[in-house]
Every structure is written in C-alpha cells, then in structure tokens.
Amino acid sequence: MIDIEKYLYKQVKSILSDWDDQSIYAISFCVESNEAKEYGGYSNVTDFVISYNTEADCEEADELSEGRWNYAFWRQNEHPIIDTYEKNQGAQILFEWYKENGIKNIGYEDENCYDADFKYIGKGPVGHYELLTIVSNVARSLQEELFLKNKFGKSIPIIVHGLEYAWYDIQATRNANPNGEADLFFKAMSKLGMV
C-alpha cells in the first residue's frame, strides 16, 4: 500500500532543509491542475511544486498587499514534487495511489459546479482535491513539529493553493497552519475580498 503522505513529507522536508534564505516570509505549496497536462492517458492532471518568496522579492510590499500574497507576483522558483509533464517519480506514485484508492476519471471536472450566485463550489478536477488534502496534511505536520520555526527562527506560513485561490485552497491553508502561522495571509485575503 502506498503511503503518499509519507512520501511527499520526505520529499518536501528534504528540499526545505536546503533553503537558507532568512528573509523568506511565506512558503508556497502549489497544487495546480492544467488542462494541457497529460499523464497515463488522462488530461487536466494535477502537479505539486513548492517555492517561497522573500522580502526582497516583494520589494517589501505592504503586509496586506496583493504584491506580497498573490503567487503571480512571486519569484516562481519552483521545485517540482509531482511533475506530470516531466513524468517524475512523484507523478508515478500519485497515479499508483489513485489506482489503489479507486479514484477514476482523473482530470474530469463537472461543469455544473457553481451555485445560484455563480460562486465556484466544485472541488476541481478529479484527483485535485484528494492531492490538495494530502499536501495540506504534510504542511500541517511540518508546522506541528515546528520544523520551519526551528530552521528559520520564526514562524513562516505555508500557503497551500492553486492559481485562483479557490475556497478549498483557503480551507487547505487553514488546515496547514494550526498555530496561526497564516493569520496575516488570511487578513490580507479578507482585505482583498478573497475570503
């Protein structure tokens, strides 16, 4: 049986251990689906990459600004954990895990996933929400053991997200930061009308 959470935890922790920039103020766990990506006969599959942003990268933008918290403004120094384009080991393990857990129709997304006010209520394409949940749990484990605080001497939020900051990204980020590490992020998202 594949323990994908344990696998991802080990991969992520190994990369984070190599980071030494003391001006990191936020870490990105980007879980994103893309209709152009294909793997194993499926399209619209989900990848997982990690990166970070520093005070210099955001040019010391206001703490509640979009320039500080919107991933589109970040340096994009991504480290792939699950890369379906390159077909890395993480992608292979993910698809084996999908199969073991009976997750089928990977990448399919129901078009009827908006409420009466046209607010998105779906969970992304099949396979996306499942991976997002696991990634959020990995982040939570790192925060609970105070890995980042011990390494950098300060609390650093882990933002679990896609490119749109859907409702489930906000939920995943809340789960990932059990000690209030992401409070400033949520305050900024509220100011920007995202939550």
Kindly report the number of other CB atoms within 10 A of residue 165's CB atom. Answer: 18
Residue 69 pLDDT: 94
User: What value does the mean pLDDT take over residues 103-127?
Assistant: 81
Using 50, 70 and 90 to split pLDDT, how confident is the model at 1? confident
Using 50, 70 and 90 to split pLDDT, how confident is the model at 110? confident
Sign of the alpha-carbon dihedral angle for 138, 77, 16, 20: negative
Residue 91 pLDDT: 95
Using 50, 70 and 90 to split pLDDT, how confident is the model at 144? very high
List pLDDT tens digits, range 24-76.
999 999 999 988 889 989 999 999 999 999 999 988 789 999 999 999 999 88
CA distance 79 to 8: 13
Using 50, 70 and 90 to split pLDDT, how confident is the model at 177? very high
Residue 137 pLDDT: 98
**Residue 113 pLDDT > 80:** no
Place of tokens 């996306």: 128
**Residue 124 pLDDT > 90:** no
Q: Do residues 69 and 195 touch, judged by C-beta distance below 8 A? A: no
